[in-house]
């Protein structure tokens, strides 16, 4: 294993850990000191509020967990996806892909912890422009997951890796 790949792995694990900590810290701030659940909403800026939302589903409310069985099924499903992302991140050789996967992994772990602890994911970030809301209410984990997926998509669609020693990159990676 090359030193660069070892550094990428370390970067990925550290970044995933930082995302997880930032997510859990911000959720603690809105639930404990700010008691946002009781208040409901706090205006921070003309375009940004803290708004209490209990998300019982996954992205955009899909697969809503209406029962304990469904809650634990979502925990199991997202844990399995997280393990897949960790394995992909561990095998990945490109720093930008490791970075993107680390964002997804850290965010997924933060939301899994919420679902285990509370039975729902705590969402609170409410970005809006007047009555226009470009996003649903979200949290740090959701933002990290979204950014990570967008980086992966952009790299897959727009970035071509240069051939190495006259070989196609896929040939080099298989060797």
- The catalytic residues are 123, 142
DSSP character string of 20-84: HHHHHHHHHHHHTTS-HHHH-EEEEETTEEEEEEEE-SSGGG-S---SHHHHHHHHHHHHHHHHH
C-alpha distances in Å from residue 153, one per residue of 1, 39, 158, 165: 27, 38, 8, 27
Give the residue carrying structure tokens 């992966």.
152
Phi, psi values for residue 133, rounded to 5°: -120, 105
């Amino acid at each position: 294993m090359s030193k660069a790949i070892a550094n990428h792995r370390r970067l990925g694990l550290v970044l995933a850990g930082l995302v997880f900590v930032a997510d859990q810290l911000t959720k603690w701030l809105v639930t404990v000191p700010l008691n946002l659940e009781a208040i409901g909403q706090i205006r921070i800026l003309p375009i940004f509020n803290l708004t209490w939302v209990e998300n019982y589903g996954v992205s955009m409310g899909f697969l809503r967990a209406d029962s304990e069985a469904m809650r634990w099924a979502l925990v199991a499903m997202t844990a399995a996806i997280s393990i897949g992302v960790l394995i992909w991140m561990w095998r990945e050789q490109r720093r930008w892909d490791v970075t993107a996967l680390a964002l997804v992994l850290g965010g997924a772990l933060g939301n899994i912890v919420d679902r285990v602890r509370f039975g729902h994911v705590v969402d609170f970030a409410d970005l809006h422009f007047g009555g226009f809301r470009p996003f649903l209410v979200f949290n740090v984990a959701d933002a990290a997951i979204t950014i990570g997926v967008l980086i992966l998509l952009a790299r897959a669609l727009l970035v071509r890796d240069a051939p190495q020693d006259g070989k196609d990159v896929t040939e080099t990676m298989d060797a």
